[in-house]
């Protein structure tokens, strides 16, 4: 089953302790706490879950240990995070 929620991602994730297989967040590009949002989302994922964060080109999360890919679509970036990447013995 798929459950969707169109609300403030940080507020929603703080209210639930449920583990989600997929989380997508599209906060305002001037969002003040991307680091906190990423940590909160990763805390709500199972090991094989996926977190996708949409953000402006002025942010780069490729150095984050759980970030395994970043794509650019015009002025939009999408960063992809997984605990599997962070826990992988081959992760740099």
Least confident of 17-21, 38-42, 51-55, 83-87: 83-87
Residue 91: pLDDT over 60: no
Distance separating alpha carbons of residues 48 and 29, to the nearest angstrom: 27
How many structural domains compose the chain?
1
Model confidence, pTM: 0.86
Q: Is residue 22 part of a domain?
A: yes
Q: What is the pLDDT of residue 60?
A: 94
56-79 pLDDT, tens digit per residue, is: 999 999 999 999 999 999 989 999
Structure tokens at 89: 């013995």
Distance separating alpha carbons of residues 8 and 58, to the nearest angstrom: 22
Q: What is the pLDDT of residue 89?
A: 60
36: containing domain:
18-44
Residue 90: pLDDT over 90: no
Q: Is residue 7 part of a domain?
A: no
Q: Is residue 70 part of a domain?
A: no
- Residue ranges with strand state E in the chain: 22-25, 50-56, 67-73, 76-81
Q: What is the pLDDT of residue 47?
A: 92
12-43 pLDDT, tens digit per residue, is: 899 988 999 999 999 888 899 999 999 999 99
């Amino acid at each position: 089953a798929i459950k969707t929620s169109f609300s403030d991602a940080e507020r929603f994730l703080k209210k639930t302790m449920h583990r989600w297989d997929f989380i997508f967040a599209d906060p305002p590009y001037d969002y003040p706490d991307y680091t906190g949002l990423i940590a909160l989302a990763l805390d709500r994922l199972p090991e094989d879950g996926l977190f996708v964060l949409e953000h402006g080109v002025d942010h780069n999360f490729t150095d984050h240990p759980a970030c395994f890919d970043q794509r650019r679509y015009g002025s939009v970036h999408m960063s992809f995070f997984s605990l599997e990447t962070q826990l992988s013995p081959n992760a740099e």
